[in-house]
Amino acid sequence: RKEVEQDPGPFNVPEGATVAFNCTYSNSASQSFFWYRQDCRKEPKLLMSVYSSGNEDGRFTAQLNRASQYISLLIRDSKLSDSATYLCVVNMRNSGYALNFGKGTSLLVTP
């Protein structure tokens, strides 16, 4: 079983739609949680960190449920420029900054 699991998609949504991505992680010792965005043939870039209290950054909302070992990302009012792969990332306790990446969920926003 992979440590971080994501639905690979692809998710095809029209502009303005709301889309939600889910992610589960297997190791309860996981300490930090993130969503990264990766454009085609580019490097991953941090989209947002995820906190137990939930956090919002503009159109993006991230939630963490430690009991269920579940992370989510909600994108409201999708833009064409949101088209990318979204990577769920977990940092293990005592592993420095070694990041465990999910396989990524592909999003295509269409006009």
**Chain residues in the site for another protein (CB under 8 A):** 4, 32, 42-46, 87, 91, 95-104
Which of residues 22 and 32 has its CB atom nearest to another protein in the complex? Answer: 32
Strands 55-57 and 4-6, sheet pairing: unpaired
Find the shortest distance in angstroms from Cβ 81 to another protein. 18
Rounded CA separation 82/37 (Å): 9
Token pair listed for 46: 């941090």
Identify whether the C-beta of residue 109 lies closer than 8 Å to the C-beta of residue 79. yes
Which of residues 67 and 98 has its CB atom nearest to another protein in the complex? Answer: 98
Find the shortest distance in angstroms from Cβ 102 to another protein. 5
Residue whose token pair is 């870039």: 45
Which of residues 46 and 80 has its CB atom nearest to another protein in the complex? Answer: 46
